[in-house]
Structure 1
């Protein structure tokens, strides 16, 4: 009887190991369809289940010129995943009683055109209608200039609006630049300092930064573009331009710490956290699938929270499935390799695996 029980346990463990190995090979194969050049720019991917890392690998090179292999510890620019941090910073200030998401932005930026009709909520949900500065032809004139937040806001604030506040959902980087400026005005700190002291340090994110090309960043992954003749170093921009809409850097491990901090209410109380992850409605009553800094979609019928990022030389994607506590993060050091569909497909595999 004991022998049969022991054999059954051994068989169960053996089958679990075999299944895990098969799943790992499946995920490896999925990633290498895109990251197929071991001598080209690389990426790092991680899967966690219930806070425990179950897959963590890197592919390709972190630096082509020095022939340095990518590791899961490398630091990447995360582009628009920055918006998650900006939205949580706003909610932290609301939690402290320093602002309200229903406040008009004219309360903080007196001379903003029609600022009495545009609320912080509109900015957070991409429903403000203000002009997205990344779509303006004049963007090339400031891309490499040091821009104060006020200068960035001045750059686009007098442009004609695309629609009335609350009328449509249209992804908008300008809204999140305005939010960064409001964070500075309300907190009395720079955006960089606020994020570092109130989020990175509290969450234990010791390898996350406000992006810089001058500061020495240990284990920095270098960014690349792909041209007809091969890879080239990324275009240089001044990070004061994307600012609070896309200027943070992180690692796969730190992004898991971020997810844990959100789950454990380390940064926000449950009421404020709920605001970030609920769907909202347009003026017409139509619901749209974006909260505050996250797209709210589903993976094979399971609700998820997701967001990607793209900035010169880098792409990123994170998917969280709250029902199963699955987090998948993919970071790429070439904007020629998108981790978006790979990360979503990995999440599907992980979801199927835990539901067996």
Structure 2
């Protein structure tokens, strides 16, 4: 379809109306930012950053972004590949032996990035009983103790592998925890310092960082769980998610930070031309079947949706944890970026698809 502005794809005014209508009907709490190229089409904020103190969300509010952070870790690793400090086919254990000496030596850096390592995860997100299993994990391993990448290793170091390395894709946060430890081993700096200086600063992500839930920081949205069956409709996520970010998720960003990152990545401000091309190349099928009419493939910290001709319609990442819901999507054909950040659990998925349909069309 052709939008009202004459650009093939969508009408920006209609897109903003879609957001406003959807957010109003769902009592959405968060921010939405849509850009074309480097130019913002619109940014809207809804709901409350703090229900306790009646502080509204604004375009400058900072949100935890959960697993969207994996793409920051992937870029930091690819920067080390680009500088020839590591290779994608390196045995991962060679860089993390101090923390996981018995890691299968067949597991490579490439496999950890593309989630084809097969190693057991610190929490198996794909389980049908994930809520029960999450509760069991939090009862046996207090979340407040998970403050650094190394703190997660005991949760998966002794687990059996799901399949031989490289056999297939299975979503896996443990591989990214190990990549965070690789970054620290190779650079001699903390994971947070490397990502802050080599990714956030270079991308112009001025609001991005790694504040913990129990640290005071400016303009940070408080995360909430919706309690439909309770007299109190919301409670904070302070006791139900990890207090600090790790290499598999948990950075804090504004919506503008996320769209700045996407622009910087595809325009060579984070990686050279060859490595940028590699970073944006799908690597492995995520699912055997199509979902919503697309083939889904995972790359290096990015999910790619492909049409029947093999063209990438969208790349990006999603993020979900208690009190956090996030989406970062780029649409190559339209040169459009979408960032949706929410501070209530599981709150942005439907809005993300509504925006997707408004951009690419449903007919």
TM-score by length of 1: 0.85
Q: 1:138 to 1:225 in 2, by over 3 A?
A: closer
**How far apart are 1:113 and its partner, in Å?**
2.5
Larger Rg: 1
Q: Aligned residue for 1:200?
A: 200
Q: Aligned residue for 2:350?
A: 341
Q: Residue 131 of structure 1 contacts residue 162 of structure 1 at CA under 8 Å; is this kept in 2?
A: yes
Q: Aligned residue for 1:312?
A: 322
Measure, in 2, the Cα distance between the counterparts of 1:92 and 1:151.
25
Secondary structure class of the residue paired with 1:315: strand
1:1-356 equivalent positions in 2, closer than 5 A: 20-35=12-27, 42-110=29-97, 111-135=100-124, 137-140=136-139, 141-227=141-227, 228-229=229-230, 230-236=233-239, 237-240=241-244, 243-281=246-284, 289-298=297-306, 303-337=313-347, 339-352=348-361
Measure, in 1, the Cα distance between the counterparts of 2:206 and 2:200.
7
Measure, in 1, the Cα distance between the counterparts of 2:356 and 2:213.
33
Secondary structure class of the residue paired with 2:317: strand
**How far apart are 1:65 and its partner, in Å?**
1.1
Q: Residue 279 of structure 2 contacts residue 300 of structure 2 at CA under 8 Å; is this kept in 1?
A: yes
Choose 273-282 or 310-319, whichever is displaced more: 273-282
Q: Residue 211 of structure 2 contacts residue 217 of structure 2 at CA under 8 Å; is this kept in 1?
A: no
Secondary structure class of the residue paired with 2:298: coil
**How far apart are 1:325 and its partner, in Å?**
0.8
**How far apart are 1:108 and its partner, in Å?**
1.2
Q: 1:22 to 1:277 in 2, by over 3 A?
A: closer
Q: 1:71 to 1:156 in 2, by over 3 A?
A: same
In structure 1, runs of 5+ residues without a counterpart are 1-11, 14-18, 37-41
Secondary structure class of the residue paired with 1:134: coil
Q: Aligned residue for 2:292?
A: none
Q: 1:74 to 1:271 in 2, by over 3 A?
A: same
Q: Residue 131 of structure 1 contacts residue 174 of structure 1 at CA under 8 Å; is this kept in 2?
A: yes
**How far apart are 1:288 and its partner, in Å?**
6.5
**How far apart are 1:97 and its partner, in Å?**
1.1
Q: Residue 145 of structure 2 contacts residue 151 of structure 2 at CA under 8 Å; is this kept in 1?
A: no
**How far apart are 1:149 and its partner, in Å?**
2.9
Q: Residue 326 of structure 1 contacts residue 351 of structure 1 at CA under 8 Å; is this kept in 2?
A: no
Q: Can you list the C-alpha shifts for 1:330-354, whole angstroms capped at 9, x where unaligned?
A: 00001041x123123213323459x
**How far apart are 1:203 and its partner, in Å?**
1.5
Q: 1:277 to 1:21 in 2, by over 3 A?
A: closer
Measure, in 2, the Cα distance between the counterparts of 1:247 and 1:89.
16
Aligned length in residues:
328
**How far apart are 1:51 and its partner, in Å?**
1.6
Q: Can you list the C-alpha shifts for 1:112-147, whole angstroms capped at 9, x where unaligned?
A: 334311001111111111111123744541411155
